[in-house]
Structure 1
């Protein structure tokens, strides 16, 4: 109960400021400790998130694809050491690239989601698995297969095709019939963007308020990042991965063994909070997810969000600190105050040419525009909580960040920006807006 209270106290501190969106499940000793949801699954219709709300899980999908490949290996329908050319006819360098290279992102095939026109054009257009593979065939290798690690969804696209060829089933059917149904994961499946998925949350981004994300066609992500699930289903998945329900112990151990760097087969194996952790995150079209599995400690943390600005990967690590009794700082309650002439704080602020903060004033409110993941800009409302003759302190809405304006001589000299990681940045004013 003491552990449960610590986690719930942490959740309460973040929830009261509106910093949590989505669903969180925390387990210890294979028992659910916390299972809570926050915010809205659909803002247009005021539908709240619930523990059975479905979220697109992005690259958490890769772990399912890896299990499928190993199942087929175990049934002797393929070998993970096979070259992909055995299954994908006329694939360039197909005699050098193995299935295992694709599983461990060591194939040398460039990651198609990193292509220059992907985010602006390709992701919005309907396609097929065959068309995407034809596109990959035209790309030169980034490096000799097996020589180094470079994260790539492209290899998992090829694995999706190999699963379909070897099993004689569409990828979505294989995952449902060979993994999900046997485990009782009835709220997990492949989202093609056409079929209506009951209880599926909508994904959002943020600019002053939640907004729709850019359209992404879901006809081709499939085994790379095309699944949806719930925290409760992923808890079933978590327990299955610690058993022999899906694979023999020998093959499960192989799947979780890193090849190069810390990447295994659809999982990263690394130290988090000074403990061995098997983990992965995913993001797609407004959804941001993270899954931490501290196998030796029998602790798992699953966080699925449908607002992409929620710093899910940071928050899961904070929860891990709470679970293992490491010190954490909790956000103070937002208690707004009024300040005179807030427009005087607006301006462009710079940190040694690294990045700028644009603080603007609109309709009586201050906002900050700041780059986040992948350099994407987001705009947050600023709430003043302290003001005196030497400094003014404001907090951001939506995420736990703080800006302090220092004005000991009556004029703003510098600002101190503390991001959600707790990192301090000192910025100088370039100009007043």
Structure 2
């Protein structure tokens, strides 16, 4: 079977069940093999995702911030080994922390998005860049700068303000004028949450049905996770990173050299499905994105989604397996069958060796699964019975590919319960007796 056919089979089987949400671009040797939108860009107005739909790209932004810093280094406006106090006089420990430490997440500055009240309160409040930096600058360093890796949006906030000071431009203007427009990326920019961005998808979460994700104020993410883009623009970006027209090749190499562990400058360099890969993940307020660049194999996979439960990192790796001729499993079609014993399986179930509790409940005669996921957030999916016999009953969830399987003894009693999550990891469940 040809590669395009295998990719289309995979896409069709996932999309048939409504498991793909967003826009997906797959390219090999510079040729686009697949470039499609799935699901809704806007559920309220029934607007579909298409290849030109814009998405907030979260931390994929960090690669653009890194490029801006390296451009300014090349123009001798700054040096990546400069201490940050040169640009932010009086910044605590600013003599120890370098621009390069911020680029490679090795600054030791606590990550402001990890503060206990960030997701419940601060995320929703507008803030200037200076106010944001004031909120974390007096916190104790988590480690000596340069000694360890510690992912920090705070370091990228410092880089944002350094770009603005050195270039005498706003971050948004710098990125568009010095990176995006020279490359022909006219659908990429900084989303401040005020300006209307034509063609920008809305971000969603899920509870029985698509719902609005928690509001995030866009006044301060900027160079940490504030850009929007399209898969097509990011493919132009991918090609630029190979040919390097806006910066010299030595600096590109430095940008892609891991510092501690696998983190380089705005990129992770590691093995994915057994191949060297330059990649990054992003998520913000209903949007999640993954960008895989198998540079030696000339393969690029870009998945931008506006439904936060869509497991883009897992799905992009499944696609990589298909491209590299490895086996993948396909979901069975969600064709409901009759299942009359709903009451017998309702209750709370705990995952063995974890303290995660899953709840099965009935609403309007439909079964639902409530399950905690990333960051401990809880989601609720409809369970669809798809097969049943004397040995087992199989349920599929709506919106993401998960399975719940009940195994029966010869006397018809439930003997085992297995939960297969969206990463295809299998868990045994125990029912909690009330």
TM-score normalised by L of structure 1: 0.98
Residue pair 1:22, 1:303 contacting (<8 A) in 2 also: yes
Aligned runs of 1:345-424 on 2, under 5 Å?
Answer: 345-352=345-352, 354=354, 355-408=356-409, 409-424=411-426
User: Is 1:175 paired with 2:178?
Assistant: no
Q: What residue ranges of structure 2 are gaps of 5+ in the alignment?
A: none
- Per the TM alignment, residue 422 of structure 1 is displaced from its structure 2 partner at its CA by 1.8
Q: What residue ranges of structure 1 are gaps of 5+ in the alignment?
A: none
User: Is 1:236 paired with 2:236?
Assistant: yes
Matched with 1:200 is: 200
Residue pair 2:351, 2:430 contacting (<8 A) in 1 also: yes
User: Is 1:426 paired with 2:428?
Assistant: yes
- Per the TM alignment, residue 410 of structure 1 is displaced from its structure 2 partner at its CA by 3.1
Residue pair 2:311, 2:423 contacting (<8 A) in 1 also: no
Matched with 1:258 is: 258
Residue pair 2:352, 2:427 contacting (<8 A) in 1 also: no
Aligned runs of 1:2-401 on 2, under 5 Å?
Answer: 2-352=2-352, 354=354, 355-401=356-402
SS in 1 for 2:37: strand
Indicate the larger mover: 184-193 or 364-373: 364-373
- Per the TM alignment, residue 343 of structure 1 is displaced from its structure 2 partner at its CA by 2.1
CA distance in 1, matches of 2:244, 2:421: 43
The total of aligned residue pairs comes to 432
Q: Name segments (4+ residues, structure 1) moved above 3 Å.
A: none
SS in 1 for 2:233: helix
CA distance in 2, matches of 1:279, 1:391: 40
- Per the TM alignment, residue 341 of structure 1 is displaced from its structure 2 partner at its CA by 3.2
- Per the TM alignment, residue 391 of structure 1 is displaced from its structure 2 partner at its CA by 2.0
CA distance in 1, matches of 2:379, 2:67: 37
CA distance in 2, matches of 1:113, 1:270: 25
CA distance in 1, matches of 2:427, 2:135: 42
RMSD: 1.1
Residue pair 1:413, 1:429 contacting (<8 A) in 2 also: no
SS in 2 for 1:357: strand
CA distance in 2, matches of 1:164, 1:243: 27
CA distance in 2, matches of 1:218, 1:367: 34
CA distance in 1, matches of 2:178, 2:172: 10
CA deviation profile, 1:80-99 (whole Å, cap 9, x unmatched): 00000000011000000000
CA deviation profile, 1:295-335 (whole Å, cap 9, x unmatched): 00000000000000000000000000000001111111112
- Per the TM alignment, residue 430 of structure 1 is displaced from its structure 2 partner at its CA by 1.0
- Per the TM alignment, residue 204 of structure 1 is displaced from its structure 2 partner at its CA by 0.1
CA distance in 1, matches of 2:256, 2:193: 31
Indicate the larger mover: 422-431 or 277-286: 422-431
SS in 2 for 1:179: helix
CA deviation profile, 1:25-65 (whole Å, cap 9, x unmatched): 00100111100000010000001111000000000000000
- Per the TM alignment, residue 414 of structure 1 is displaced from its structure 2 partner at its CA by 2.6
CA distance in 1, matches of 2:343, 2:21: 30
